[in-house]
């Protein structure tokens, strides 16, 4: 038995370790092997707590879209329900029913012509939702092609080069050709221009993004839909749209209700969102809703026996936490339409304020001002005398606790580097504090002469 194991044996007897002493350090857990012995819970807690302390502060993480704050009541509810498994519909029939209420509420919010005819589910996030929605598109395309006696071996999916990585994953995992429409100076967002060169009889669908991850701007779903109408008139191809509303599908209905992007467009057959983004829930929760049951091929649904009834389930995973679904319902009740409009309206105001401040500082040019989803992005104006870049600024800000990623734009505009912040529910004062630190970091960089060593070429980019 090693010395360490000796100590472990001691520690589990009455000889409680003193805490931060040499003794304590002897218990340091090995990194890559399971410790042989056990240790007191306080000690294990302290070790994990201390390790987690070295992570960034979640609320200063301006890179993430994901919920980092909920109120006391939500936190209490979370603690009361973290043991619920979403798949146990028999054991937790109420949670199952609340899940259904939630996606029905979303179907209504997204203007489904007949919310009672829709079908949907919760997921762990938009990525799982995208896998399910993409599969439904593929299966429906395949059924149509088979019925017509046509080959089904070369499906493709058309979308902007600015898609979130989950769509490239979807195509990769299910052997579907990815057709990316590049972005450009004239078409900084995918807008249906030249779409006829990308779609054909093997196109299972077109993905439109409400809230492009890189910049936060909305793709004009209506224009994309109009372009597909023209293509149908010319060629007979009837190509459906899936809207990836990971962020924007929980913003637009409240803040920009006049934008027509949802089930009001006949071509939109399914929509996903992340409950854990502007749905305001902690990670991980996503939603996907289909216009009607017909848009979800029956063979993707597994029937489980549910209290003598028939419970359809649709998911990639089996077990997953149910608490987030309850938290979403809590927020639907707590905020209602008016509350979501107020919360997101406030966040948007703060975003517009922050972007105008950044624009007025001199070196920056806005790429997105926060008027779509409250995400702002900027680039550096050309200046041959400047000896710093946005990666240096990210590093400086990180030194003050703020996490602000810098990264190149996608294919077509990859020569442009931007920096982005995602504004979330919080106090305006925090934005002021951020801007003050931001100004000081810029002033520091502007005041240096001579080259600044680049410590890292990239920085964390949270899609
Ligand atoms: C965040 C995001 C995703 C992925 O969502 P997760 O909930 O993190 O899985 C997909 N698409 C877009 C546009 C996103 O912003």
Chain segment 250-290, per-residue pLDDT in tens: 999 999 999 999 999 999 999 999 999 999 999 999 999 99
**Is 166 touching ligand 1 by the criterion CB < 6 Å?**
yes
CA 448 to centroid of ligand 1, rounded, Å: 38
pLDDT digits (tens, 9 = 90+) for 412-428: 999 999 999 999 998 89
* 150 and 103 in a common domain: yes
- Read off the pLDDT band of 449 (50, 70, 90): confident
What is the tally of structural domains in the chain? 3
* 4 and 93 in a common domain: no
* 368 and 278 in a common domain: no
- Read off the pLDDT band of 89 (50, 70, 90): confident
pLDDT of residue 56: 87
Q: Cα dihedral sign for 253, 257, 261, 263?
A: positive
Q: What is the best residue among 127, 249, 286 to mutate for testing ligand 1's pocket, by most ligand atoms within 8 Å of CB?
A: 127
**Is 160 touching ligand 1 by the criterion CB < 6 Å?**
no
CATH of the domain at 80: 3.40.640.10
* 233 and 382 in a common domain: no
CA 164 to centroid of ligand 1, rounded, Å: 6
* 176 and 269 in a common domain: yes
* 225 and 95 in a common domain: yes
Reported pTM: 0.92
Structural domain includes residue 62 = no
- Ligand 1 atom nearest the C-alpha of 211 is 13
pLDDT of residue 453: 59
pLDDT of residue 30: 80
**Is 65 touching ligand 1 by the criterion CB < 6 Å?**
yes
- Ligand 1 atom nearest the C-alpha of 66 is 8
* 307 and 183 in a common domain: yes
**Is 127 touching ligand 1 by the criterion CB < 6 Å?**
yes
Structural domain includes residue 453 = no
- Structural domain range at position 3: 1-54
pLDDT digits (tens, 9 = 90+) for 195-216: 999 999 999 999 999 999 999 9
Q: What is the best residue among 251, 270, 277 to mutate for testing ligand 1's pocket, by most ligand atoms within 8 Å of CB?
A: 277
- Mean pLDDT (the chain) is 91
* 177 and 280 in a common domain: yes
* 268 and 410 in a common domain: no
Mean pLDDT of 25-38: 79
């Amino acid at each position: 038995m090693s010395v360490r194991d000796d100590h472990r044996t001691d520690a589990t007897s009455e000889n409680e370790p003193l805490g931060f002493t040499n003794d304590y350090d002897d218990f340091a857990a090995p990194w890559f092997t399971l410790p042989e012995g056990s240790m007191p819970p306080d000690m294990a807690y302290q070790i994990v707590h201390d390790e987690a302390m070295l992570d960034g502060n979640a609320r200063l993480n301006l890179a993430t879209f994901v919920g980092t704050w909920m109120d006391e009541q939500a936190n209490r509810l979370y603690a009361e329900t973290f043991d619920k498994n979403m798949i146990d519909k028999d054991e937790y029939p109420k949670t199952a029913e609340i899940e259904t209420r939630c996606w029905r509420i979303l179907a209504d919010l997204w203007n489904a012509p007949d919310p009672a005819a829709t079908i949907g589910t919760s997921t762990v996030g938009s990525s799982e939702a995208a896998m399910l929605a993409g599969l439904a598109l593929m299966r429906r395309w395949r059924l149509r092609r088979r019925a017509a006696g046509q080959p089904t071996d070369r499906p493709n999916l058309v979308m902007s080069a600015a898609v979130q990585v989950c769509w490239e994953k979807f195509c990769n995992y299910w052997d579907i050709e990815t057709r990316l429409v590049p972005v450009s100076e004239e078409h900084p967002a995918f807008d249906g221009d030249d779409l006829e060169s990308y779609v054909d009889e093997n196109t299972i669908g077109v993905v439109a993004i409400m809230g492009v991850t890189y910049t936060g701007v909305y793709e004009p779903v209506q224009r994309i839909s109009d372009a597909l109408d023209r293509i149908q008139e010319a060629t007979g191809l009837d190509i459906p749209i899936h809207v990836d509303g990971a962020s924007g599908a929980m913003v637009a209905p409240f803040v920009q209700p006049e934008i027509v992007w949802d089930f009001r467009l006949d071509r939109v057959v399914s929509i996903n969102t992340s409950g854990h983004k502007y749905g305001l829930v902690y990670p991980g929760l996503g939603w996907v809703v289909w216009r009607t049951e017909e848009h979800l091929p029956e063979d993707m649904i597994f029937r489980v026996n549910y209290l003598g009834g028939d419970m359809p389930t649709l998911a990639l995973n089996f077990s997953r936490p149910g608490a987030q679904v309850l938290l979403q319902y809590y927020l639907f009740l707590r905020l209602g339409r008016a509350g979501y409009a107020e919360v997101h309206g406030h966040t948007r105001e703060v975003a517009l304020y922050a972007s105008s401040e950044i624009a007025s500082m001199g070196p920056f040019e806005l790429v997105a001002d926060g008027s779509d989803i409250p995400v702002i992005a900027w680039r550096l104006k050309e200046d041959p005398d400047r000896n710093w870049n946005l990666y240096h600024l990210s590093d400086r800000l990180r030194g003050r606790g703020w996490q602000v990623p810098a990264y190149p734009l996608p294919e077509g505009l990859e020569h442009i580097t931007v920096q982005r912040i995602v504004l979330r529910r919080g106090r305006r004062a925090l934005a002021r504090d951020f801007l003050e630190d931001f100004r000081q970091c810029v002033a520091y960089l502007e005041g240096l002469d001579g080259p600044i060593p680049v410590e890292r070429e990239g920085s964390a980019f949270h899609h």
